[in-house]
Amino acid sequence: MLKIGLVGARSKSTVLGFKALAEKVEIKAICDLDEEVAQKISKEHNIPHVFRIYEDMLMSDIDAVVIATPMQLHVPQAILALQAGKHVLSEVTAGVTMDELWWLIESVEKSGKVYMMAENYCYIPQNFVISEMIKAGLFGKLYFGEGEYLHCIEDMLLHRNGQASWRNFWQLGKRGAFYPTHSIGPVAQWFGEDRIDSIACFSSGQNRAKELGLRQDDTSLTMCQMKSGALVKIRVDCMSKRPHNMSYYSLQGTKGAYEAPRGLGDDHKVWFEGMQADSDKMNWQPLADFYDKYLPNRFKRASEEEKSAGHWGGDFFLVADFVDAVLENKLPPIDVYRACEWTAVGLLSELSVTNGGRSINMPNFRKNMPLSEQIISL
């Protein structure tokens, strides 16, 4: 039985996923500085132990931690957990500085424990359907993809007591694609073993941000050049007043294309070579028409409890993969190297946009990476 400790109230998003794995997992503890919030979650989900001090929880009888605290705490808390012999499931992003990414990789390698980044957008069922179609060759050679995260978070700038929240500084206090992993993660997975070779970031400037006294650009576009030569574009916008659209993706290959919905009745849709003989009369086909053949069985067999875990059911499958990686002693799907590459898109974008969109080389994150390569190369 794997014993889990949760740190940060946002970790409750994984609770239903762990509960659906009750034969393998037990949530033993929750830790949050706001004891009232922790006690409420504890009572709601029958979690036996409540802590205010993270180090105290690490000394308790747990095997793994779920880190769902503000993003500037992710690496320090992950390293403490790894040093204490605990496995780690960390919310996004993996870290907030490039140095932190080196520390994190070294700590994971020294510990021998499982580290997985909880990028739940990679577990959206439709994204898995696209992955299976890619494997089947329907898209041909991939050469372009994009992801967008449009989510105005102005109402998250203050705590309940009226004090400024961490988001003023570590999110809207920075420039560039500060929150890239929801956008880049699923698309990067579609490109398989290909990796990001360089990035360049451009912004629309500061309009609403200036009114609110924030540093974040209203919209930023980050272009990711893949090692293969393919191009991936991500847009991050947490300032603009507009309807949310946090999970838009598109994909283009030599034989097919995919676009996610943008709203107002739109739906997931694909087009493949050979659908219409007349190129002037090409039409999209609903992605749902292909679910029977390409939706993985784990999604088809999912119980109502598993589907209700959150994020279109993705939270359950994310948790299940983490648990399996720990119990079977294998690499998780989103390991520390992928976590660092996707996080570095945002960290390097800040340097790029403040230098007029200058291209920045992406480090090749991998096991036993030499110190000589742990640099930012222009």
Task: Provide φ and ψ at 314, rounded to 5°.
Answer: -65, -30
For residue 164, give the DSSP letter.
B
Give the pTM.
0.97
Q: What is the pLDDT of residues 178-231, one digit of tens each?
A: 999 999 999 999 999 999 999 999 999 999 988 889 999 999 999 999 999 999
Q: What is the pLDDT of residues 243-260, one digit of tens each?
A: 999 999 999 999 999 999
Say how far apart CA 64 and CA 67 lie, in whole Å: 10
In order of their start, the domains of the chain are 121-296+335-378 (3.30.360.10)
> SS3 for 271?
strand
Out of 77-86, 187-196, 271-280, least confident range: 271-280
Assess contact for 68 and 41: CB atoms under 8 A: no
In this prediction, residue 324 carries a pLDDT of: 97
Assess contact for 209 and 172: CB atoms under 8 A: yes
Assess contact for 347 and 365: CB atoms under 8 A: no
Q: What is the pLDDT of residues 276-317, one digit of tens each?
A: 767 777 899 999 999 999 999 999 998 888 888 877 778 899
